[in-house]
C-alpha cells in the first residue's frame, strides 16, 4: 500500500514538473494525429523565417524558396517519427541547417547573388544616421554596408556563420543555437564572438570611425 502511494506521488510530481509543450509542437502532434491543417499552420508561421534563413546561405531568393520547400517537405515526411524532445523550432532549424549546408557543400554550388536592391523582407540595415528621410548619400552608405556584411558572412567559417545567423537573424538564444548545433552554450558564445570580430574587421574599411581599432 505504501509503495503504491509512493509511486502515485512520483507520477504526480513527474506530471507537474514536465515542461509545457510549445504551441508549435502541439500543432506538429495534431498533424501527426491526422490534422493536415495543423501542418499548414506551421508552414504559415515559419515559412518566411525559413526562406530568410536559407537566403543567408545561398544569397538567391529563388534558390532559398526552393530550399524552404524541401525543408518543409522533410518536416512533412518526418511526422510519423516526431517526438517532443525540444522546442519545435530547434527541431525545425536542425532540418533547415542540414538542407542549407548540404546545398552549399555541393561541388557545383556557386553563390548566386541577388541584386543589392532585391527584396529581402528580413533585412535589418545598419542605422548610420538618425533621420526619417535619408538622403541619397545615406542610402548609398547603407547599401554599401549591407553588401559588405553579406560578403563578410560568406567568408566566415561554416560553424561561425551558422551560429551568428541563428542568433542574430533568426533570434534564437544561445541555448537554442546550442541545441540546434548540438554543442554547448560556451562553444556557441565563442563562435559568435569570433564571427563578430571577423565581420568587424571586414567592415573596417567602410566604417573606420565606427569600429574599434
Q: Which of 4-18, 25-39, 133-147 has the lowest mean pLDDT?
A: 4-18
The cell numbers describing 212, all together, are 574599434
Q: What average pLDDT does the segment 106-117 reach?
A: 56
Domain segments of the chain as ranges: 20-114, 123-213
Nearest one of 196, 177, 158 to 57, comparing CA atoms = 158
- Residue 45: what pLDDT? 96
Q: Which fold has domain 123-213?
A: Arc Repressor Mutant, subunit A (1.10.10)
Radius of gyration of the chain (CA): 21
Nearest one of 58, 168, 201 to 118, comparing CA atoms = 58
Q: What average pLDDT does the segment 88-117 reach?
A: 79
Nearest one of 63, 69, 52 to 111, comparing CA atoms = 63
Distance CA 152, CA 57 (A): 12
CATH code, residues 20-114: 1.10.1740.10
Distance CA 101, CA 113 (A): 17
The pLDDT tens digits for 160-196 are 999 999 999 999 999 999 999 999 999 999 999 999 9
- Residue 129: what pLDDT? 40
Nearest one of 183, 173, 179, 171 to 46, comparing CA atoms = 171
The cell numbers describing 69, all together, are 520547400
The H helix count followed by the E strand count for the chain is: 9, 0
Q: What average pLDDT does the segment 1-18 reach?
A: 48
DSSP state of 156: S
Place of cell 537566403: 55
Helix axes 88-104, 174-181, angle to 10 degrees: 60
Evaluate whether 42 touches 31 at the Cβ level (below 8 Å): yes
At 94, the pLDDT band (50, 70, 90 cuts) reads: very high
Amino acid at each position: 500500500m505504501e509503495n503504491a502511494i509512493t509511486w502515485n506521488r512520483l507520477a504526480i510530481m513527474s506530471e507537474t514538473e514536465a515542461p509545457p509543450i510549445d504551441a508549435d509542437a502541439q500543432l506538429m502532434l495534431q498533424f501527426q494525429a491526422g490534422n493536415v491543417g495543423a501542418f499548414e499552420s506551421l508552414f504559415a508561421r515559419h515559412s518566411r523565417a525559413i526562406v530568410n534563413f536559407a537566403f543567408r546561405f545561398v544569397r538567391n531568393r529563388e534558390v532559398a524558396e526552393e530550399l524552404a520547400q524541401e525543408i518543409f517537405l522533410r518536416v512533412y515526411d518526418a511526422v510519423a517519427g516526431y517526438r517532443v524532445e525540444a522546442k519545435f523550432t530547434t527541431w525545425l532549424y536542425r532540418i533547415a541547417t542540414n538542407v542549407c549546408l548540404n546545398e552549399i557543400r555541393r561541388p557545383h554550388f556557386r553563390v548566386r547573388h541577388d541584386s543589392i536592391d532585391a527584396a529581402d523582407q528580413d533585412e535589418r540595415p545598419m542605422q548610420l544616421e538618425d533621420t526619417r528621410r535619408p538622403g541619397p548619400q545615406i542610402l548609398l552608405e547603407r547599401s554599401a554596408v549591407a553588401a559588405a556584411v553579406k560578403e563578410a558572412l560568406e567568408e566566415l567559417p561554416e560553424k561561425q556563420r551558422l551560429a551568428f545567423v541563428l542568433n542574430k537573424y533568426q533570434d534564437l538564444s544561445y541555448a537554442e543555437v546550442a541545441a540546434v548545433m548540438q554543442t554547448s552554450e560556451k562553444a556557441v558564445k565563442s563562435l559568435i564572438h569570433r564571427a563578430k570580430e571577423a565581420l568587424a574587421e571586414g567592415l573596417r574599411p567602410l566604417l573606420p570611425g565606427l569600429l574599434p581599432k
